[in-house]
Homo-oligomer: A and B are copies of this chain.
């Protein structure tokens, strides 16, 4: 798949050649059916939405050039990734996505061809998931490109937070882990929306998180006070070609990790999962134990560091 460059070599093909009003018209055209008319969409001071059913979920995540995508990432995939990163956060609560707003901060030399592909990729993903882009902002950022998407969602039923795990709970993770960036998984992943909503309906599931900063780091956020995760290397769904360290530390897996009450609930959940999601791998990777009681055969997760967002290149 060939992709245009982020920065245009000619002034004619760049954002600066058309100015703000025309750019916003173009964005609406590129979004197509993912761009409803104002005031339900782009074109007024705020977007006007029906209120959430049940509780509302709200999250925000950007894609930054050189951090979340680079010249090897197709522009369409970068646009889809911006939405999918946020969808993964909604999935991790067991919620349903509703609508997005997108703030662009970009160099005036950004290529219109690249930007069109970026928005068309976002539009395809938005239409697949029923998520319109209802508003945004465009501003100048010399030398770079930052697109920030805020996503609102809803959860009519139970919400799964990161809190609620207990000692003896089983720990599960979906999909495979590690080497997300070199394999392109970081933009090809599918946010686990159906899986997250299904898990929220099962009482045996106690707590959930999306694995985006590396399992070692994200699992710490799921671990109850006074406990430690006992995770076994041989149970980890390591991506083919990845090491255990990469599976624990790489980040951008966009999988779900969750805890399940000890007892027969785990086996029942696994059977039901295989019927509901025959193509989505589910791995029981360990359990929470009392702090200081991690068995000798388990991984010492404290020795693995997750993805650090503020480490200069």
Taking beta carbons and an 8 Å cutoff, which residues of A are in contact with B?
15-16, 19-20, 23, 38-39, 43-62, 64, 66-68, 88-90, 92-93, 95, 99, 101-103, 105, 108, 134-144, 146, 148, 150, 152-155, 159, 161-163, 209-210, 308-313
Contact B138 A309 (CB under 8 A): yes
Q: Give the one of A55, A144, A210, A310 with max B CB within 10 A.
A: A310
Contact B46 A89 (CB under 8 A): yes
Cβ-defined partner of A310 (8 Å) among B53, B101, B138, B210:
B138
Nearest CB in chain B: distance from A31 CB, A? 15
Contact A150 B101 (CB under 8 A): yes
Contact B138 A56 (CB under 8 A): no
Q: Give the one of A66, A141, A144, A210 with max B CB within 10 A.
A: A141
Contact A43 B93 (CB under 8 A): no
Asked whether A310 and B46 contact (CB < 8 A) given A52-B56, A60-B150, the answer is no
What would be 27 A-B contacts, judged by CB atoms less than 8 Å apart? A16-B310, A19-B311, A39-B162, A44-B93, A44-B161, A44-B163, A45-B209, A46-B58, A46-B92, A48-B155, A48-B161, A49-B56, A49-B57, A49-B58, A51-B52, A51-B54, A52-B56, A58-B99, A59-B101, A64-B105, A64-B139, A67-B140, A67-B141, A108-B311, A141-B144, A142-B312, A146-B148
Asked whether A142 and B310 contact (CB < 8 A) given A38-B163, A159-B39, the answer is no
